[in-house]
């Protein structure tokens, strides 16, 4: 009897120590677009967590205990990178002490490292409040970038969770096929937007403008991360009176006071863009994000 009990205890201990064969890979995403992409590729083999919502500014996040706890449990981290999360991600990584997901490891993917980075300065300079010293980190609004990140994510997940490698590759094949079809549709729908002059609050739409050929004529922020000043807005008003724009774009988390002020003075519509998954009611996933982005732009510019 005693032997039998001992066997039971030892077996129980072994089960407690060994990871469950069906345990899901826990993915910590810094922003909602990457959590959404991880769901597309990871399907039911992963559990995703987004550190921020579409209503939160991803440059400025408090490294609160719940985020540290999520980081500690994670098997994989995916973030925009290029300095977007410089104020909080390193703190989370250090506080969590999770060796699997430290920078440089395969389980730590910086999306901006696999795309062509725009606005990359000749040298890194954080002076005068510029929060894009390494280039523009808001890479998610060009769907071709999403495709590149999806490919890299699949390759890495297949290594981190090798047992499910075939599953991730098949999920990717399905996603990729649907995504490429959607890109063709979006590009055809947005043809009429080419050359449309727009003002942006923050440099959040650089990749969208680049993709669709929109012309960014001004930013409400005098420098990335520096809030609009009265002097800067007065100057913009003069410029826009001579060279009018068709829309003033802001992200789902930008404050609306500056764009509303300029809109009242110029008659140019101020538009809240979805910016990421969850940014409005239609942007429930990545497909909805781009459907809604193009529909919003066409609505704003009178090209419905
Ligand atoms: Zn930014």
Domain with residue 261: its CATH number is 3.40.50.1980
In a domain, 168, yes or no: yes
8 A C-beta contact, residue 77 and residue 101: yes
Cross-sheet strand order for the sheet of 25-29: 46-50, 25-29, 76-79, 108-110
pTM, two decimals, is: 0.91
Q: How far is the CA of 208 from the centre of ligand 1 (A)?
A: 14
Q: How far is the CA of 285 from the centre of ligand 1 (A)?
A: 22
8 A C-beta contact, residue 258 and residue 228: yes
Q: How far is the CA of 263 from the centre of ligand 1 (A)?
A: 22
Give the mean pLDDT of 139-156.
98
8 A C-beta contact, residue 64 and residue 15: no
Residues 125 and 229 in one domain: no
In a domain, 56, yes or no: yes
Final residue before a domain boundary, out of 165, 186, 207? 186
Residues 26 and 175 in one domain: yes
Give the mean pLDDT of 79-95.
96
Question: Does the pLDDT at position 7 exceed 60?
Answer: no
Residues 64 and 172 in one domain: yes
Query: 161 or 21: which carries more pLDDT confidence?
Result: 161
Give the mean pLDDT of 89-94.
98
Residues 44 and 85 in one domain: yes
The alpha carbon torsion through 94, 55, 80, 140 (nearest 10 deg) reads 170
In a domain, 231, yes or no: yes
Query: 253 or 126: which carries more pLDDT confidence?
Result: 253
Convert the pLDDT of each residue in 206-244 to its tens digit: 999 999 999 999 999 998 889 999 999 999 999 999 999
Q: How far is the CA of 206 from the centre of ligand 1 (A)?
A: 10
Residues 224 and 102 in one domain: no
Q: How far is the CA of 250 from the centre of ligand 1 (A)?
A: 12
| Residue 109, token pair as written in the block | 């993917």
- Determine the angle formed by the axes of helices 143-160 and 165-189, rounding to 10 degrees: 180
Q: How far is the CA of 132 from the centre of ligand 1 (A)?
A: 6
Q: How far is the CA of 32 from the centre of ligand 1 (A)?
A: 15
Q: How confident is the model at residue 6 (pLDDT cuts 50, 70, 90)?
A: low
Give the mean pLDDT of 51-64.
97
Residues 227 and 295 in one domain: yes
Q: How confident is the model at residue 22 (pLDDT cuts 50, 70, 90)?
A: confident
- Name the 3-class secondary structure at 50: strand
Q: How far is the CA of 9 from the centre of ligand 1 (A)?
A: 54
Residues 47 and 164 in one domain: yes
Query: Which range is least confidently modeled, 31-45, 66-80, 142-156, 214-228?
Result: 214-228
Q: How far is the CA of 99 from the centre of ligand 1 (A)?
A: 28
8 A C-beta contact, residue 40 and residue 19: no
User: Which among 121, 108, 172, 116 is positioned nearest to 139, based on CA atoms?
Assistant: 116
Residues 97 and 69 in one domain: yes
Q: How far is the CA of 138 from the centre of ligand 1 (A)?
A: 6
Q: How confident is the model at residue 14 (pLDDT cuts 50, 70, 90)?
A: very low
Q: How far is the CA of 20 from the centre of ligand 1 (A)?
A: 40
Residues 198 and 181 in one domain: no
In a domain, 134, yes or no: yes
Q: How far is the CA of 205 from the centre of ligand 1 (A)?
A: 9
Residue 180, domain extent: 22-186
Domain count, the chain: 2
Q: How confident is the model at residue 121, as a pLDDT?
A: 84
Query: With pLDDT > 90 as the criterion, what percentage of the chain qualifies?
Result: 85
Q: How far is the CA of 173 from the centre of ligand 1 (A)?
A: 32
Q: How far is the CA of 13 from the centre of ligand 1 (A)?
A: 49
Q: How far is the CA of 51 from the centre of ligand 1 (A)?
A: 17
Handedness of CA 273, 183, 198, 298 (dihedral sign): negative
Q: How far is the CA of 55 from the centre of ligand 1 (A)?
A: 14
Question: Does the pLDDT at position 74 exceed 80?
Answer: yes
Q: How far is the CA of 133 from the centre of ligand 1 (A)?
A: 10
Q: How confident is the model at residue 3 (pLDDT cuts 50, 70, 90)?
A: low
Q: How far is the CA of 83 from the centre of ligand 1 (A)?
A: 9
Q: How confident is the model at residue 182, as a pLDDT?
A: 98
Q: How confident is the model at residue 15 (pLDDT cuts 50, 70, 90)?
A: very low
């Amino acid at each position: 009897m005693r032997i039998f009990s001992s066997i039971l205890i030892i077996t129980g201990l072994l089960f407690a120590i060994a990871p469950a064969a069906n345990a899901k890979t826990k993915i910590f995403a810094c922003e909602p677009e990457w959590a959404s992409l991880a769901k597309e590729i990871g399907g039911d083999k992963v559990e995703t967590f987004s550190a921020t919502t579409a209503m939160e500014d991803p440059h400025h996040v408090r490294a609160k205990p719940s985020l540290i706890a999520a980081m500690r449990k994670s098997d994989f981290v995916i973030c925009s990178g290029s300095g977007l999360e410089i104020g909080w991600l390193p703190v989370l990584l250090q506080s969590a002490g999770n060796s699997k997901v430290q920078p440089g490891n395969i389980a730590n993917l910086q999306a901006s490292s696999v795309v062509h980075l725009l606005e990359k300065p000749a040298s890194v300079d954080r002076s005068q409040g510029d929060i894009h010293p390494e280039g523009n980190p808001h890479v998610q609004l060009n769907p071709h970038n999403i495709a590149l990140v999806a490919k890299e994510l699949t390759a890495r997940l297949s290594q981190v969770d090798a047992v499910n490698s075939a599953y991730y590759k098949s999920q990717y094949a399905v996603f990729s096929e649907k995504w490429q079809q959607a890109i063709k549709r979006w590009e055809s729908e947005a043809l009429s937007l080419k050359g449309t002059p727009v003002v942006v609050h923050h440099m959040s739409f650089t990749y969208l403008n680049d993709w669709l050929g929109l012309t960014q004529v001004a930013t409400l922020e005098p420098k990335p991360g520096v809030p609009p000043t009265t002097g800067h807005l007065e100057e913009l008003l003069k410029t826009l009176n001579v060279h009018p724009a068709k829309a003033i774009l802001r992200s789902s988390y930008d404050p609306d006071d500056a764009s509303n002020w300029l809109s009242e003075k110029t008659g140019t519509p101020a538009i809240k863009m979805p910016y990421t998954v969850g940014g409005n009611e239609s942007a429930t996933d990545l497909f909805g994000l781009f459907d809604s982005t193009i529909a919003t732009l066409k609505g704003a510019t009178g090209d419905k």
